[in-house]
Amino acid sequence: MKKYQVAKRPGAGLANSGIWLALAACCVFLSSCGEKPAEPAKPAAEGAAPIAKKKIVVGFSQIGAESGWRAANTESIQSEAKKRGIELKFSDAQQKQENQINALRSFIAQGVDVIAFSPVIVSGWEPVLQDIKKAGIPVVLTDRAVDAKDDSLYATFIGSDFIEEGHRAGEWLAKATGGKAMIAELVGTPGSAPAIDRKKGFEDVLAKNPGMKIIKSQSGDFTRTKGKEVMEAFLKSPEAKQITALYAHNDDMALGAIQAIEEAGLKPGKDILIVSIDGVKGAFQAMADGKLNCTVECNPLIGPQLFDAVEALMAKKTLPKHTGVLESVYEQSQAKDALPTRKY
Ligand code: GZL
């Protein structure tokens, strides 16, 4: 296991000691201008206020505000930083990689202690991650991973196993349909880790169930609006009458699709069985209303784990390359009881 030491930012230490040396020289100079030699420093009086510890400064680039899951993820990160007295420089990229890269570069320029981000897609990060490494700033990936070959470019990845989430969604549908389903699929943001891996995990299950087939598949970009639009198009397509089930890569797209199914005069959750991923409150309400059949939980509340990792890095502790999150699968029968305690 590689040991990750937080390298001193080149020059920062030197700059600080340079400043202190200059101040000390001034003090010596002033004290030797004809004044009596300075009294030796007295020990701090009993109970004197401790010298304030330097605040940890973290730069965080968030993907955007595209879904209920993302809103809960942002709230968890911002509230945890506040609770721990950590200065959080937060940037919202509106789901654009170029905005994330610009934000990461600005964090380098600001000399933050740790950089964390949720990469909107898996590719295209090496150049900026190399520059962050050169600046000696450790990186924590949250929620989504990158496909960088060199894993020394980040200290740790805190996030779910999206392939397992796809497996769980597929296995639930196989059980619910006896392995017979003609499936419409609403895919997440193209090129993103959850979209790639949730599709892979689901298709692993279909490989074992020849009676289950994806007959329509298109991206709804993880948003409710797009999910509704794409489902409307599915329901106007030649294959519309064959669709018996919907697999949505997140609840927001499923909730949009439910609206489209109802507007087409069909009963979501009955005429078309629906399984999605995230476990947001809206999904539990839809299950309680009989319109969604299953949601596979994907826990967004990773603020505490993120700042545990940040504090460990500041203390020069080593970190595991990947930290998972605890998640379950919920069906209609559990929805009413679970709703009141759902945190997001
Ligand atoms: C999953 C996260 C996904 C959610 C979507 O960890 O990256 O992005 O499933 C969100 O709701 O938009």
- The pLDDT tens digits of the residues spanning 177-193 come to 999 999 999 999 999 99
Q: Report pLDDT for 325.
A: 87
Closest CA to 154 of 302, 317, 6: 6
Q: What is the pLDDT of residues 299-316, one digit of tens each?
A: 999 999 999 999 999 999
Q: How far is the CA of 178 from the centre of ligand 1 (A)?
A: 29
- Domains in the chain, CATH or no CATH each: 57-160+301-326 (3.40.50.2300), 162-298 (3.40.50.2300)
Q: How far is the CA of 152 from the centre of ligand 1 (A)?
A: 25
| Range 109-117 average pLDDT | 98
The band of 41, judged by pLDDT with boundaries at 50, 70 and 90, is low
For a pocket test of ligand 1, which of 96, 143, 326 has the largest count of ligand atoms closer than 8 A to its C-beta? Answer: 143
Q: Report pLDDT for 7.
A: 31
Mean pLDDT across the chain? 89
Q: How far is the CA of 147 from the centre of ligand 1 (A)?
A: 17
Ligand 1: residues within 6 Å at CB?
A: 66-67, 69-70, 143-144, 160, 194, 222, 250, 252, 277-278, 298
Q: How far is the CA of 213 from the centre of ligand 1 (A)?
A: 24
Least confident of 28-32, 41-45, 213-217: 28-32
Q: What are phi and psi for residue 16, nearest 5 degrees?
A: -60, -50
Q: How far is the CA of 77 from the centre of ligand 1 (A)?
A: 15
Pairwise CA distance, residues 293 & 66, whole Å: 23
Q: What is the pLDDT of residues 227-286, one digit of tens each?
A: 999 999 999 999 999 999 999 999 999 999 999 999 999 999 999 999 999 999 999 999
| Range 1-23 average pLDDT | 35
Q: Report pLDDT for 44.
A: 56
Asked if residue 16 has pLDDT above 90, the reply is no
Q: Report pLDDT for 33.
A: 37
Percent of the chain with pLDDT over 70: 86
Work out which ligand 1 atom sits closest to the CA atom of 223. Answer: 12
Work out which ligand 1 atom sits closest to the CA atom of 66. Answer: 12
Pairwise CA distance, residues 344 & 75, whole Å: 10
